[in-house]
Amino acid sequence: MRPMTAPPEWRCQAADLPPGRTLAFAVACGGRPVQAFVVNHQGTYGAYVNRCPHTGTTLDLWPNEFLSDDGRWLICATHGAVFEPASGACVAGPCAGDALTPLPLRLEGEALVVSGLP
């Protein structure tokens, strides 16, 4: 079986990520593939490793389902931890006071570019 690989950078067109939406992807961190996601919350973008700081599980129970029903918060489907989309800070739940691991994100022209961690 061939090991999973991921690119050192991931990119998409900013127009493909309107406010209130997320996109899941894989990116290389430390030479290993890591699940990640990007969110557009009220026109502000954030990119994070898809791992809850409480138990290390992914946040999305269903693929690409990260936001609360009202779109205000990122939610861990496993334990209900609540995170601010703009900062990744956990504001409620079992890991309150902790935060999601942010990934470097930049805008290149009309493209969002997320880099993995060294």
CATH of the domain at 35: 2.102.10.10
Q: Which domain holds residue 41?
A: 9-115
Is 82 within 8 Å of 91 (Cβ atoms)? Answer: yes
5-14 pLDDT per residue, tens: 888 999 999 9
Does residue 4 form part of some domain?
Answer: no
Domain count within the chain: 1
pLDDT of residue 4: 65
50-99 pLDDT per residue, tens: 999 988 899 998 889 999 999 999 999 998 999 999 999 999 999 999 99
Buried residues in 57-83 as b, exposed as e (16+ CB within 10 A): ebbbeeeeebbeeeeebbbbebeebbb
Q: How many CB atoms are located within 10 Å of the residue 100 CB?
A: 27
Q: What is the pTM of this model?
A: 0.92
Does residue 1 form part of some domain?
Answer: no
Does residue 31 form part of some domain?
Answer: yes
Does residue 2 form part of some domain?
Answer: no
